[in-house]
A and B are shown apart, each in its own frame.
Chain A
Amino acid sequence: MSDPPVRVLRRSFLAGLGLAAGGFALGAFEGDAFADDRKIPQVDIKPSDPATAAKTAAKGAGLRPNVFVHIGADDVVTIVCARSEMGQGVRSSLPVLVADEMGADLVRVKVAQGDGDKAYGDQNTDGSHSVRGMFEDLRRVGAAARIMLVAAAAKRWKVAVASCTAHDGAVFHDATQRTLRFGELADEAGAQPTPKKEDIKLRPLSELKHLGTELPLLDGPDIVAGRAVFGADVKLQGMLTAVVARPPVVGGKVLRHDPAKALAVNGVKRVIVLPEAKRPFAFKPVGGVAVVADNTWAAMRGRAALDITWEPGDNATYDSRAYREGLLTAVKSPGKTARSLGDVDAALAGAKTRVEAVYYAPHLAHASMEPPVAIARVDGNGCEVWTSTQNPQAAKTEVAKALGLDESQVTIHVTLLGGGFGRKSKPDYVVEAALVSKEMGAPVRLQWTREDDIQHDYYHSVSAQRLVAGLDDAGKVVAWRHRIAFPTISSTFTDAKEPSENELQQGVLDTPLAVPNVRAEGCEAIAHTRIGWLRSVANVYHAFAIQSFVDELAHARGVDPLAMQREILGPARIWKPADLGVPKLPNYGQSLDEHPVDTARHHRVLDRVTELSKWSDRNTAGRSLGLAVHRSFLSYVAVVISVVKGKGEKIAVDEAWIVADAGTIVNLERVRSQLEGAVLFGLSHALYGEISMKDGATEQSNFRDYRLMRIAEAPRKVHVEVVKSEGPPGGIGEPGVPPVAPALANALFALTGQRVRDLPIVRSLSV
């Protein structure tokens, strides 16, 4: 094979830095070899390759303190990003943390993308946990290199280690004004002992030069020039293209098929029946018929010419209209108690007034702009894959299982992702590519069409929620009951029928309610399609219901919605699980000591967002504001949405404010872009997003009927503020989304007097 070397994602900060508005001097290295990727020595970063380890041990191989870092005698610092880039800016953030702790000069830093390998630890890029989950470990990775470089310099200079410092890509001995570049020290540093974890002392955060600053976009220059490599852009010699006709109903199978017409299409090579899907569906492909051709167009035409009779299976009765009625009925009866404080029944019985509301939100599809795609090459040695995946280790496991290989025989290279939003954590499409490549004995690009993507997604769950509050004589809320029904994500992996603790912690269990009697109940709902996590997951519908309901309570009482928010939150304090009425809180996998539920932070983002948006002027002629606040993924976000009466009867969102407290942040610019994007993502779903099922199949198929926000529908302005914080980092990719839909619904109520409790909004208002 004469394929190009695997150098899919190796990029320098240089190009971006050169174009940055300011703050970076390129210094002596401007215009040198770094600008040209081809001149960079190819550092084989793959960690589990024994040959590489041997090379490393050899003299002159530079410094490789761990699998994430290599420093060469050429002064190139290569840092592996082992998480997937899907627009959240992880490649422009994680390596910076390593570099800053090391004291590297960003201009000399190359970022290499890690293959799927357990040596990197968890690589699943979801749950907004890349920075918050690796903040200290990645700094240790950089610190280990720094310690070895400093030790090598001290040895050469015959001075005390403590008298040396590392910064700007060099080690300094200030007393004698001596300096050695990292590259000059790399080989000697490589011979130093690797420090043990407990011996690694981290710098104070104030020494991390780029932390919390606005950094250039690492892959920006490639993206705007069309050079960036996404999943479909890898080309192997002799590569074929496949598309698959999948059963319209999940769990269905091929009853009969006639490949003749497909095979008659010029360019079509073969038609292959894939294995049937078996429960639990998990990450496995759903089966169907693959058409393999020598180009994409031929494969698509071949698939259109297939004659298939499907056995629909037992999900063929799934009908979204009927299912909605089922969910609305379910929340009329008690469910399993998940949160309980005081005596809700007695408090409701004794309340002077009751406020009640039922909220419904439909299935949603991820619809990343890049449909799922994977390239696989199966041969006698195993399987090598190039794909846009959020979860390369799961892809490796699933491919190995499907092909009957050992995981060591499977390599997963990660390209850039053209959006992920949770869809690309599920490697069903990667397995399809591997199966077809094995059958063909040739490299295969397995391309999902947009129709495939919309119709065979792991959908965001459909949900119904019923909230009831009891108010006393003074109007104070004394009882709060929240019933929730939705098919759980767990149903994709087990036969679960009730919301999981992991889903309920996303807004139901962890929302502080300064109400003496609280109960939340999860009701049963059976899944009839694959349910998956979509950006912000259960927080999206939970925040929609809870934050709409707080606004409804304000209007029922005739008070300012901001005052109602503050009353429900209560005074600023730390909430323990017992105060919330839960025995424990998963807390997104992190400790409550480090990341408590802290209403001071809710109040702080509310303060800022209402100041910036001039909340006191919230209702002027033809324009109204709506407010919401929500904690998710350990970050706190408040949003104000402004809506105006536009031309004719149409209502438009003209402006938005979003304020986040995400603790310590790495790259302020990417944090801001995530929050800005979250506003539009949340608005798009709330206004237009709906996937519905009929006879078990998805009714929508492309952007014609699965509507996404377009540019004219976007607000004129989105104001972003990130609260300064030195607390431990929270998530940033997802927390911006949940408060958007309720803030919008609350603004629409203020403008029109119409309360929208059913999403999408376009069903009930002209927007």
Chain B
Amino acid sequence: MSIRLRVNGTEHTLDVDPEMPLLWAVRDVLGLTGTKYGCGQALCGACSIHIDGEVVRACVTPVRRADGKAVTTIEGLSADGSHPLQKAWLELSVPQCGFCQAGQIMTAAALLAKRPKPTEQEIDESMGGNICRCGTYIRIRAAIKKAAGVSEE
């Protein structure tokens, strides 16, 4: 069975096992490596990407669920790294090792699309599925607020 999907604006037809997680279709088949494998069980959020604007954990999402849909990965969030979150992330030097950050940004982008001015509690709730082992949570909160134009207390 072949899967038709649009990834970052480009149409692809994939001849893969429809049960293959979208993560591996994106990484191994399409060669888009910005999306990371962290746990394989939707526990850490490193693989967070968007299907039709909704954030999903690609490591547990069968590729068939993206059939006929639009997938956005970190590579497609903006053409040139100019998404307000990407800019805020750099201005505050959020990343340490950087491995979880694509997932953090994709989850945050889905949040801001729904809630352009989130409260701190909404940020914590939305970002709760994304683990950062280096401990950048303080700056992640601050960068989301900065991108949203919400002031720090």
Contacts and interface: CB of A to CB of B under 8 A. Distances in A.
Given A16-B90, A370-B36, A225 B81 contact: yes
Interface string A618-645: 0000000000000000000000000000
A674 to B, nearest CB: 8
Nearest to A682: B135
Contacts of A676: 135-136, 138-139
B20 A297 contact: yes
A243 to B, nearest CB: 11
A448 B32 CA distance: 19
A416 interface: yes
B101 to A, nearest CB: 5
B40 to A, nearest CB: 6
A86 interface: yes
Nearest to B87: A19
B96 A703 contact: no
Nearest to B130: A711
Given A225-B81, A679-B135, A297 B98 contact: no
A621 B117 CA distance: 32
Minimum-distance CB pairs A-B, first 3: A226-B34, A418-B99, A680-B135
A724 to B, nearest CB: 21
Interface residues of A, number: 71
Contacts of B95: 87, 217, 219-220, 223-224
A53 interface: no
Interface of B: 17, 20-21, 24, 27-29, 31-41, 43-44, 46, 73-75, 77-78, 81, 85-87, 89-91, 93, 95-102, 105, 120, 123-125, 127-128, 130-141
Contacts, number: 194
A449 B21 CA distance: 14
A168 interface: no
Nearest to B131: A708
A224 B43 contact: no
B46 to A, nearest CB: 6
A225 B98 CA distance: 11
A516 to B, nearest CB: 40
Contacts of A711: 123-124, 127-128, 130, 132, 137, 140-141
B138 A449 contact: no
A694 to B, nearest CB: 21
A714 B97 contact: no
A367 B21 contact: no
Contact of B93 (A266, A367, A421, A673): A673
A447 B27 CA distance: 13
Scoring A450, A679, A715 by chain B CB atoms within 10 A of each residue's CB, the highest score goes to A450
Given A680-B135, A680-B138, A709-B137, 12 more contacts: A216-B93, A223-B95, A224-B95, A230-B36, A300-B40, A370-B97, A419-B97, A421-B133, A676-B136, A676-B138, A702-B40, A704-B41
A370 B38 CA distance: 6
A677 B135 contact: yes
B93 A681 contact: no
B123 to A, nearest CB: 8
A722 to B, nearest CB: 15
A702 B43 contact: yes
A133 interface: no
A450 B96 CA distance: 20
Most buried by A among B73, B77, B135, B138: B135
Contacts of A229: 33
B8 to A, nearest CB: 10
B90 A19 contact: yes
A226 B35 contact: yes
Residue of A229, A368, A416, A673 contacting most chain B CB atoms (<10 Å)? A673
21 contacts: A217-B90, A217-B93, A224-B86, A224-B90, A266-B17, A295-B20, A297-B21, A369-B134, A419-B97, A419-B99, A449-B40, A450-B38, A670-B93, A673-B93, A677-B135, A680-B135, A702-B39, A704-B41, A708-B133, A709-B137, A718-B138
Contacts of A710: 128, 131, 137
Given A220-B95, A368-B133, A225 B28 contact: no
A300 B100 CA distance: 22
A714 to B, nearest CB: 4
Contacts of B90: 16, 19, 216-217, 220-221, 224
Nearest to A373: B37
A417 interface: yes
Contacts of B33: 226, 229-230, 232-233, 235
Nearest to A675: B135
Nearest to A296: B24
Contact of B135 (A85, A221, A228, A714): A714
B136 to A, nearest CB: 7
Contact of A295 (B29, B40, B91, B100): B29
Nearest to B38: A369
Contact of A450 (B21, B40, B78): B40
A297 B96 contact: no
B124 A712 contact: yes
B62 to A, nearest CB: 10
A416 B133 contact: no
Contacts of B127: 711
Given A295-B29, A368-B133, A704 B43 contact: yes
A125 interface: no
A219 B29 contact: no
B36 A369 contact: yes
Given A450-B39, A711-B124, A717-B138, A227 B97 contact: no
Given A230-B36, A677-B134, A681-B133, A368 B93 contact: no
Contacts of B136: 673, 676-677
B93 A220 contact: yes
Interface string A261-303: 0000011000000000000000000000000000111101000
Interface string A410-449: 0000001111110000000000000000000000000101
B38 A709 contact: no
A565 interface: no
A447 B24 CA distance: 12
Contacts of A230: 33, 36, 98-99
Contacts of A371: 37-38
B137 A87 contact: no
